[in-house]
Amino acid sequence: MQPARVVFCDLDILCIKHTPSQNSFLISINPMDSPNALSTAPAAGSRKNATLICVPIMGESVEKMEIDVDKAKAGGADLVEIRLDSLKTFDPYRDLNAFIQHRSLPLLFTYRPKWEGGMYDGDENKRLDALRLAMELGADYIDIELQVAHEFYDSIRGKTFNKTKVIVSSHNYQLTPSIEDLGNLVARIQATGADIVKIATTALDITDVARMFQIMVHSQVPFIGLVMGDRGLISRILSAKFGGYLTFGTLESGVVSAPGQPTLKDLLYLYNLRQLAPDTKVFGIIGKPVGHSKSPILFNEVFKSIGLNGVYLFLLVDDLANFLRTYSSTDFVGFSVTIPHKETALKCCDEVDPVAKSIGAVNCIVRRPTDGKLIGYNTDYVGAITAIENGLRGKHNGSSTTISPLAGKLFVVIGAGGAGKALAYGAKAKGARVVIANRTYDHARKLAYAIGGDALALADLDNYHPEDGMILANTTSIGMQPKVDETPVSKHALKYYSLVFDAVYTPKITRLLKEAEESGATIVTGLEMFMGQAYGQYENFTGLPAPKELFRKIMENY
């Protein structure tokens, strides 16, 4: 059989066509007329994909595992994986029979040996005997490693197991092989007679996942394709878009059977996994680190509430240019950009909004559907400056003058990166006198020269107080979780500032803000900047006005 070529047709339905080329892997989307032509999400409660959610169950006793099976069912799982290798003691007939007789969900039995990343370190024949027994007792699925699959199939030849589907699996804990090697691996697994092919690899870069997606959409048999690690997270979510047989979600955060597994709750409620379809558009927050961001919470909830057929992901990206080249389909619609990629993003876009060009940084990238070109924007400066102005106006009893309350103020910006540039640009445009403080003085000097301000080294900021009533804006990651005890400025220096803003919003009240408030300054949290820049990003992504009240309602709980 020739490999399949995947094309998204006029109605945005996933279509499979055969092509003669052995290396023809193409995923394409029929362009939409405009960004706000995003299709409507399916009605709540419906299911738009067949991808199953499997909860791995690990425990030292059968009793504990049975409790967790019930939790998985209550939480909305489709099936559970019973990790027999995690049991402290294991009586095959007694324990397998107990699981099967009392099952409330379909059961996948895995008895993973140490040589394949599991915990079992005993007799191999006894391990395989237990898996054969599981089939005889009526298991829904068993998982057998490729290395022993032929031997296992030889041992059951001539026997009939109508109920049990056999998953033949391969795990690579070092890397993700080339597309050719992955294709050959699929062929080897298929040759064993597997009912379901499972390949799990390791992401050294987020672009490794694209190769797994290519294999997934071309597979001629049920296929489980997962890429382990934080850089592989998108494989576990977009499996539902690209046709994966199942994905894994844990009962608790951090209690995983493989690196990078999200929780069952996040799959169902954060990523709305059962609503994902071949025509679902992909958005995300690009950064390093990125796990602290609240953008996925906000945008996914907005998409769900308004009915837009999109999903918003955490994208841990090392090389921005490589990422954008790899995920070049118009299905990947738009990206928020955070530290450290905002300045690099400027160079990666085909076109840049004049404001972003003046700032020298991009925090929002949109792929134009008509030609696939990347358009860069900067919404940071509006979000932050508006929040600071509102803070100052509140301090002066809501003055409604059209002149910015920043006019004439001495505005100290900590940081000379993308966010620092945005704040410096915005403050200067409002008539403030801007000073840039940075750990690397040369970077501060360059930015100060570009916007017509002054510069100083961050180490000198504690002793900098030419006047009272200054404004301080931290645009660095100092004080962000998990390093919440850090602060860029000593408390004794904060008495000279009338308002202090911190772009960090995890935690909401940083050490800097706490000490500034104790020193008598008005404080403005990074959450205000986050909301302001998110409005602009939403409008760039969709072409629709931002539902600001909905945004604020969603973030009230965070």
Catalytic site positions: 171, 198, 342, 380
Of 265, 203, 270, nearest to 235 by C-alpha is 203
Q: Tell me the three state secondary structure of residue 482.
A: coil
Q: Which residue has the tokens 């209550």?
A: 74
Q: What is the residue-wise DSSP string for 19-33?
A: -S-TT---EE-PPPS
Asked if 38 contacts 309 with a C-beta cutoff of 8 angstroms, the reply is yes
Q: Which tokens hold the place of 177? A: 């092989």
Residue type at 279 in one-letter notation? D
Query: Phi/psi at 478 (nearest 5 deg)?
Result: -60, 125
Determine the Cα–Cα distance for residues 558 and 158; give it in Å rounded to an integer. Answer: 58
Category of 428 on φ-ψ map: left (φ > 0), alpha (ψ -120 to 50) or beta: alpha
Residue type at 389 in one-letter notation? E
Of 40, 100, 104, 44, nearest to 70 by C-alpha is 104
Residue type at 251 in one-letter notation? L
Rg (CA), the chain: 27
Q: Which tokens hold the place of 504? A: 């960090």
Q: CA–CA distance from 556 to each of 399, 502, 535 (Å)?
A: 26, 19, 16
- Give me the helices (H) in 365-522, please: 380-395, 418-429, 441-451, 511-518
Strand partners, 255: none
Of 342, 286, 364, 355, nearest to 532 by C-alpha is 364
Give every strand in the sheet of 281-287, ordered side by side: 310-316, 281-287, 332-337, 364-367, 374-377, 351-352
Q: Which tokens hold the place of 282? A: 């992909």
Helix (H) or strand (E) holding 177: none
Query: Phi/psi at 226 (nearest 5 deg)?
Result: -130, 140
Query: Phi/psi at 508 (nearest 5 deg)?
Result: -65, -45
Asked if 271 contacts 6 with a C-beta cutoff of 8 angstroms, the reply is no
DSSP 43: P
Determine the Cα–Cα distance for residues 419 and 427; give it in Å rounded to an integer. Answer: 12
Asked if 500 contacts 472 with a C-beta cutoff of 8 angstroms, the reply is yes
Strand partners, 27: 6
Q: CA–CA distance from 130 to each of 56, 112, 295, 552 (Å)?
A: 18, 12, 46, 54
First to last CA, the chain: 52
Asked if 54 contacts 248 with a C-beta cutoff of 8 angstroms, the reply is yes
